[in-house]
Amino acid sequence: MATSELPPFDPEWLMAEQMTGGRMTLPAEPVEQARARFDALYNNIRPLLPPPTDAVTTTDLEVPISKQKIRIYKPANAAGPLPVGLYIHSGGWYAGSVDHEDFLARNIAENSQMLLYSAEYRLAPENPYPTGLDDVCNAYQYMHETATNHGGDPTKKFIMGGSAGGSLTAAVALKYATNPELKAVGFCTFCLSSCEPSALPEAYKSRYTPELYSDAPMIGNDIMRQAREWYAAPATDPLNSVLLHSDFKYLPPCYIAAPTKDPTHQETLFFYEECKKQGVKAELVEWVGMPHFFWTLPMLQKSQDFMRVWNEKLRAMIASS
């Protein structure tokens, strides 16, 4: 999709805004207030969610190296060794938790028949880059080492997440892209920050127009800039600005999702384009007229569609692995 102009908001999203009191965009503000506002979003969603079923069992453990919580989701009555996946939560590197996105992880474990590890990681600004990345890398290695203990097959590893979780997903995939034992066989990344704007390669920088997303709900350009400052990653570090990574061509197959009314839209498209340029097997789905991380709102048909497609793409990667 050309990025010189954007399609209008999806009517379903506009209706949801009317029902919930108008458009909400996370502003740039001190970190404690920003976290409280982020938490409030998920607290407002929780009463709308169906209660967890017995289709998935969970176990909470601690990653020995980082001492961070990890929750393991296992489909009930699963037969045979299951593919394993690492789920990385959202939150701009400064907020979020395993508990916030528990309902998404349950959906994936059940519908993709996967042993899924969902990892906590230390948050910025108190724990700037690369602390959070190190934590999820430790969680990924812990998953590899312990999957067989929980009925998983560590030779079929996947990584997934959106927003900050999508950025970390790409970074973890790249970190192990040339490691024969730890390389993932596939990953799913959504709404990611693929490059610090000041470090964008010229071919992308000339097309980068964040002002097009000034009316974006959920997150705006201001909080994105603030989140990057808190994360404090060097602009040209290739595990932060993943478009610059020299091992890009070794990435495994991936599914990429990009809502069009999202400030991360262009960076996500650039990541997909780089995949295609470097021969990575990548599939892109654009969610036209929808904003950042919209699939957390369970009352939307588009949210249900998003999760259905996510699981379809994941099952297809599992089948071909």
Domain parsing of the chain, residue ranges: 11-320
**Residue 4 banded pLDDT, cuts 50, 70, 90:** low
Q: Which of 4-18, 120-134, 224-238, 257-271 has the lowest mean pLDDT?
A: 4-18
- Looking at CATH, the fold of the domain delimited by 11-320 is given as Rossmann fold (3.40.50)
Between 254 and 20, residue with greater pLDDT: 254
Q: Which residues contact 74 (CB under 8 A, 6 or more apart)?
A: 56, 57, 58, 59, 82, 109, 115, 150, 151
**Residue 139 banded pLDDT, cuts 50, 70, 90:** very high
Q: Does pTM top 0.85 for this prediction?
A: yes
pLDDT above 80 for 258: yes
| pLDDT value, residue 146 | 98
Say what percent of the chain tops pLDDT 90. 93
Per DSSP, the residues of 182-224 read: T--SEEEEES---S-GGG--HHHHTT--GGGGTT-SEE-HHHH
Q: Residue 176 and residue 144: Cα distance in Å, rounded? A: 12
Q: What is the pLDDT of residues 64-85, one digit of tens each?
A: 999 999 999 999 988 889 999 9
pLDDT above 60 for 138: yes
Q: What is the pLDDT of residues 172-228, one digit of tens each?
A: 999 999 999 999 999 999 999 999 999 999 999 999 999 999 889 999 999 999 999
pLDDT above 70 for 315: yes
Three-state secondary structure call for residue 278: coil
pLDDT above 60 for 3: no
Q: Are strands 254-261 and 282-291 parallel, antiparallel or unpaired?
A: parallel
Q: Which of 17-31, 84-98, 107-121, 163-177 has the lowest mean pLDDT?
A: 17-31
Q: Residue 124 and residue 236: Cα distance in Å, rounded? A: 19
Q: What is the pLDDT of residues 238-256, one digit of tens each?
A: 999 999 999 999 999 999 9
**Residue 1 banded pLDDT, cuts 50, 70, 90:** very low
The 3 state secondary structure assigned to 85-137 is EEEECCCCCCCCCCCCCHHHHHHHHHHHCCEEEEECCCCCCCCCCCHHHHHHH
Dihedrals phi, psi of 129, to nearest 5 degrees:
-50, 140
* CA angle 69–155–304, rounded 5-degree value: 60
Q: Residue 41 and residue 35: Cα distance in Å, rounded? A: 10
